[in-house]
Amino acid sequence: MSSRHEATGQPTSRSASPIYSRIAGTGSYLPPKRWSNEDLVAWLADRGVQTSHEWIVERTGIEARHFADPDVTASELGLQAAIRAIEAANCSAADIDLIICATSTPDMVFPSTACLVQKKLGVHGCPAFDVQAVCSGFVYAMTVADAMIRAGSVKRALVIGSEVFSRILDFKDRTTCVLFGDGAGAVVLQASDEPGIVASRLHADGQYADILCTPGTVKGGEILGDPTLKMDGQAVFKLAVNVLDQVAHEVLDEAGRTPDSIDWLVPHQANIRIMQGTARKLRLPNSRVVTTVDQHGNTSAASIPLALDHAVRSGLIQRGQSLLLEGVGGGFTWGAVLVDY
């Protein structure tokens, strides 16, 4: 006897082709105001904080970063990155049916930064929401978008990472204020009959919440607690290298691949020593690590899509190559996505 679907001429779930998601386009945007280490060192010295270009480079690999003007928000940066990604994907904003924004520095408590980008794009009706996983946020957002595309609920997703971390820095703390910058990156994921996102893994462990956090909040119209970033750098470094190595092997094992199959490692741009330590554990040469931390600083959830777009537009990353995207951040959160680009 034929099933109900066969009787009505509809394909059965067993015969339906699987749906995958692929990166159709990338985009990024940096605020015009570039601050070299020398610029920042001089600015901090005027405020009684002493550091040096050499000290910053030796510990982080950072030489410059971009800071947004006071009236520029995460949604503004995200909008510019989104426009570029949509153009690269050869589609229009009207074709987007899901918007996810990864950010820890939203424009306001609510609505979400994603909804504000949606408004500025002139898109109406599709789901739009933020993901808050700090520096792992873009990996989290890509994984969620991939799952929704695979489920068949959306066909084309705009995934954004956008941050204005300069707003939450304590410029009296030289160990943290020299690390971060502002910026945004985005990708358009679209449904495909060929795998693009091959495997992904996400993790979190809240017992490490205090080693990287911004503990302030709003209560009764006033700030409760400290609204600036706090970090135990040594604890973050030790944990980051270990969990990034573990999650990289998890996605490779899921895909049945080995580290030498990776053409490019596109890590969260936190610190050159963390990035090189991760590559070393995977036995990848530094020449196969996409590196923008030297010019962008740590842009949190924006760092992976910024680095990805830079590598795509500069010709480093080519179609047909295998990419490993991975991030680690406050929460403590970490994750990785294996991509056939």
Q: What is the DSSP string of 317-333?
A: S-TT-EEEEEEEETTTE
* Whether residue 90 lies in the annotated active site: no
Which one of 135, 271, 296, 310 is the catalytic residue? 135
Tokens standing for residue 23:
């990166």
Which one of 66, 268, 296, 310 is the catalytic residue? 268
Find all residues with CB under 8 Å of 54, minimum gap 6, and list them: none
Which residue type does 26 have? T
* Whether residue 242 lies in the annotated active site: no
Q: Are 242 and 250 spatial neighbours (Cβ–Cβ below 8 Å)?
A: no
Q: Roughly what angle, to the nearest 10 degrees, separates helices 53-60 and 272-281?
A: 20
User: How far is 40 from 231, CA to CA, in rounded Å?
Assistant: 20
Q: Hey, how many other C-beta atoms are within 10 angstroms of the C-beta on 152?
A: 10
Which one of 37, 271, 298, 310 is the catalytic residue? 298
Tokens 């590559």 found at: 279
* Whether residue 177 lies in the annotated active site: no
Q: Are 181 and 66 spatial neighbours (Cβ–Cβ below 8 Å)?
A: yes
Catalytic residues: 135, 268, 298
